[in-house]
Amino acid sequence: MTKVKFVHTADLHLDTPFKGLSNWDNQLASKLKDATLKSFYNIIDLCIQEKVDFLIIAGDIFDSEIKSLAAHLAFYNALKKLSDNNIATYIVCGNHDPLSSLADFKELPDNVFLFNSSKAGKETFYKDGKALADIYGISFENKIVKKNLAKTFQLEDGHSPFSIAVMHGTIGNPGPHENYAPFTKDDVINKGFDYWALGHIHKKEIIRQSMPAIVYPGNPQGRDFGETGAKGCCLVEISDTKEPRIDFIPTQLLRFEEATINIEGVNTIELVYQKIESINDYINDYDEKTGYIIRLTLTGKTSLHTKLNKDEEIEELLEYLNQGLSLSGYTRIDTIKVKTQPDIDIEKLRKGTDFAAEVLKTFETYDNDKNKLEQLIEDTNNNMSDNYAKKEIGNLTDEEKKEIMNKARWKILNQLSITDNDY
């Protein structure tokens, strides 16, 4: 049976500067510095371990057109390691590393192929002296490419048993990414290729399973909280049936995650701590071999509500948790967001006729009437004398508005309710 086996990766973003983390320590900073490069080394090791025929890199090797010498050398030596193991590499350039920025790559290791930018070119992979796969690819010449590159792909006559297209671009909604080299499924479905190896979108997604397969592997290492979840590459095997087997293989050194823990009815800090110690249980596809950077949200009705909503209490709790006394591996909690409620019987309060009941009902009118809430925010903004505060209010998202209203609701109701629960 004829078959081809390869690894598909993209968006390595070597040399990425990590930003937006509020809770740094020397150990974490050191790990982050090398995370993108080490995730690429994991891909190289996977290729060798699985004895693949070749590696495909679908753009954005580097994070910037200005790359460090160390990143350049590390990338070169990693590809040479593949070449020394008789594994080929096929590369296209993306918007972060356009072809014009790779002029310093005057030489590449043997068996490494970098596609041009004028049109989709072809390289044929031979195994045991016979043509096995035709790999077609096109690079970005410059950072911004708005034209449909998919239209330049055309199978040549007398092609090999398998045909693979490699491209950096956008199919469908680009999400947080720029809409570069946009195309549609209809642009590629009938071109005769078996597999479209895509890059640019940092979330793994199989757009189409077969005939042809259309795949984004996502980036192999998340870089911030906009890139949560497992990150890796695709190990692909295509046989005569033309039904690809596509296995996602995690390669990240660290994962960014958001976790929510409900502390409903938990009324001692010791029990809260025990729940946080078990934070791994609240993460999908938890991998004990991977380090984690987590943004934690606490929810639920608790008598600890007042204390947990004091900034100094949360800062001290965060510092204590990150001492690593009980959290294993390289797990770090970046922030703790408190969305708890005071231990108040809301249904009983709602049925009441006192001032607290009226306050609750007033808040609920804002929950049910978005226009009324917007008017309240506008009136508040107009009454502000501080220009900075006005600007901040004007830039609030819907989620932030809702969060502020909830904090105000529980703070007022907690003050109005006579309780001895807060110790």
pLDDT tier at 358 (50, 70, 90 boundaries)? confident
Alpha-carbon distances, residue 418 vs 15, 341, 353, 392, 421 (angstroms): 56, 15, 16, 34, 9
pTM, two decimal places:
0.83
What six digits make up the tokens of 156? 């040549």
Q: How far apart are the C-alpha atoms of 312 and 321, rounded to whole Å?
A: 14
Residue scoring higher pLDDT (211 or 34): 211
Average pLDDT over residues 206-228: 94
Closest residue by Cα to residue 145 from 199, 95, 93, 202: 95
| Beta-strand relationship, 291-301 and 254-262 | parallel
The confidence score (pLDDT) of residue 19 equals: 64
Residue 192 has pLDDT above 70, yes or no: yes
**Considering the chain, what is the average pLDDT of its residues?**
86
Closest residue by Cα to residue 252 from 214, 292, 300: 292
| Secondary structure letter of residue 64 according to DSSP | S
Q: Are 193 and 213 in contact (CB under 8 A)?
A: no
The confidence score (pLDDT) of residue 30 equals: 66
Residue 107 has pLDDT above 50, yes or no: yes
Burial of residue 66 (number of CB atoms within 10 Å: 0-12, 13-18, 19+): exposed
Q: Are 332 and 293 in contact (CB under 8 A)?
A: yes
Q: Domain extents for the chain? A: 3-250, 254-343, 347-423
The confidence score (pLDDT) of residue 325 equals: 46
Alpha-carbon distances, residue 147 vs 37, 151, 179, 201, 236 (angstroms): 31, 9, 10, 17, 29
| Secondary structure letter of residue 310 according to DSSP | S
The CATH homologous superfamily to which domain 3-250 belongs is Metallo-dependent phosphatases (3.60.21.10)
Give the DSSP letter string of 154-179. Answer: -PPSS--SEEEEEEE-EES--TTS--
Average pLDDT over residues 330-335: 85
The confidence score (pLDDT) of residue 21 equals: 63
- Out of 8-12, 110-114, 287-291, 314-318, least confident range: 287-291
Give the DSSP letter string of 165-221. Answer: EEEE-EES--TTS---SEE-HHHHTTS--SEEEEES--S-EEEESSSSEEEE---SS
Residue 71 has pLDDT above 50, yes or no: yes
Q: How far apart are the C-alpha atoms of 300 and 147, rounded to whole Å?
A: 50
Residue scoring higher pLDDT (411 or 98): 98
Q: Which of 52-56, 151-155, 282-286, 335-339 has the highest mean pLDDT?
A: 52-56
The confidence score (pLDDT) of residue 22 equals: 59
Q: How far apart are the C-alpha atoms of 338 and 331, rounded to whole Å?
A: 20
Closest residue by Cα to residue 296 from 266, 340, 355: 340
- H helices then E strands: how many in the chain? 11, 17
The confidence score (pLDDT) of residue 271 equals: 93
Average pLDDT over residues 146-164: 91
Among all chains, which residue has been given the structure tokens 């890139």?
Answer: 227
Among all chains, which residue has been given the structure tokens 């004007």?
Answer: 394
Cβ-proximal residues to 4 (8 Å cutoff; 6+ apart), any chain: 53, 125, 132, 133, 161, 162, 237, 238
- Out of 30-39, 212-221, 230-239, least confident range: 30-39
